[in-house]
Chains A and B, each alone.
Chain A
Amino acid sequence: MSLNTLNNWAAGEELNPLVPHTAELIVGFVAFTLLFLVLRSKVVPMFEKAFAERTEAIQGGMEKAERAQLEAERALTQYTTQLNEARGEAQKIREDARVQGAAIIEDLRSKAAEEAARITASATAAIEAERQQALTSLRNEVGALATELAGKIVGEALDDQVRQSRIVDRFIADLEKSK
């Protein structure tokens, strides 16, 4: 074929364009195979690597975002729970404080009442004692005065102590009787 081709070139003849040339067939085969080997060993793996890494990077990012979202959700739940707990606790504390306050007030009130009763009682006792004392001293003084007065009026010396006292007592008893 190639000899024929050369002859044709030499002769300047027109060739049938559908007839292949040996040299070109060989070159086509070799060139294509060469290119195939280069692209398959050097280019395709590298592009595939880039594609795979990119896919992984995107998926990794998505997973990370998902994880972060989960984390956030969990934190939110936790905070909500804590908030509710705190609210409940505050409510309980308020309740306790109210009860305690009431108890304290009640306590104080009863103590005050007691104290008041005690003060009243002691005051009453003191007054009673003083009255008694006053009564006694009054009786004595009134007796002395009355005796002195009676002695002066009657002119009779009533210096006998026993008699004097008997008279006074009788007088007071009469007074009390007549009251």
Chain B
Amino acid sequence: MGAYLASEDGFKPPSTADFNLPPVFGDNPFTTKPIFLAFFSVILISVFFILSSRKAAIVPSKFQFAGESIYGFVRNDLARDVIGHEFMRFVPYLFTLFTFILTNNLFGIIPFLQFPTMSRVSFPYVLALFTFVIFHYVAIKHKGLIAYLKEIMFMPGVPKPVYILLTPIEVATYFLVRPLTLSLRLFANMFAGHLLLLVFILGGEHLLSGAIGLKIVSPFAFAFGIALTFFEFMVQCLQAYIFTLLTALYIAGALADEH
């Protein structure tokens, strides 16, 4: 469609190539935009929360209240409500996870940054790996290796022939599906969202350079792009929440006794 409507050079729709940003300094692969963004998020989050928690006043300032609300949300609504009485051990991890994902997601719609770090699949992979290691480690420590494997492979209270079907499913769930869905859900949401924004905004820009009829249409493309930005904001928050919630659920499952 782009090629058909375009005047001279033709419209090249955004593709996966738009996510392969070249290194800023020469050939050093550690100097790409997503890598800078990841480090920037670490500095941003650290500074924000250190400043807001520094005073730890009983009556919080607005700034402390802002930091505290986010921390309290992860601590109480995610960790405590899901994991139960042993939740405090996992609060630092869940808190880091939530703030790191949320900030990097929001980079997707922050002017001038405008790139969701999590649309580079490596980052979700790393985070999913952390969660994967943690919930298995917690389960093995809590139940013992043999008992844990037995629980996964031979779910109690099931007729024996069903194991032929159930065992592979359970094993795949615990060792493959969980980390993969965790990382790919986050990656795909950010990837698709960014692609969508690119389509409407670059498309609108391209329409603007076209014939008069196309110029009239282009504001609609921009308007849609703006509307989608708000939608993206929602998705970005939601994905950070889901990743953290699922991690908490897996940890809760690891701590739960056989049911």
On A, residues with C-beta under 8 Å from B are: 2, 5-6, 8-9, 12-29, 31-32, 34-36, 38-40, 42-44, 46-47, 49-51, 53-54, 57
Contact = CB atoms under 8 A, between A and B. Distances in A.
A39 B122 contact: no
A37 to B, nearest CB: 9
A28 B34 CA distance: 10
B29 A53 contact: no
A39 B45 contact: yes
B239 interface: no
Interface string B16-42: 110110110001011010110011011
Given A39-B45, A50-B68, A54-B58, A32 B29 contact: no
Contacts of B49: 39, 42-43
A27 B30 contact: yes
A35 B30 contact: no
Nearest to B44: A35
18 contacts: A6-B27, A18-B187, A24-B38, A27-B35, A28-B38, A28-B127, A35-B41, A36-B92, A38-B50, A39-B46, A42-B50, A43-B49, A46-B56, A47-B67, A47-B72, A47-B75, A51-B72, A53-B56
Contacts of B54: 46
Given A18-B121, A50-B53, A23 B35 contact: yes
B135 to A, nearest CB: 16
A15 B16 contact: yes
Contact of A12 (B17, B67, B125): B17
B91 interface: yes
Contact of A34 (B32, B42, B184): B42
Top 8 closest pairs, chain A to chain B, by CB: A24-B122, A28-B126, A46-B53, A40-B92, A23-B29, A20-B122, A50-B56, A43-B49
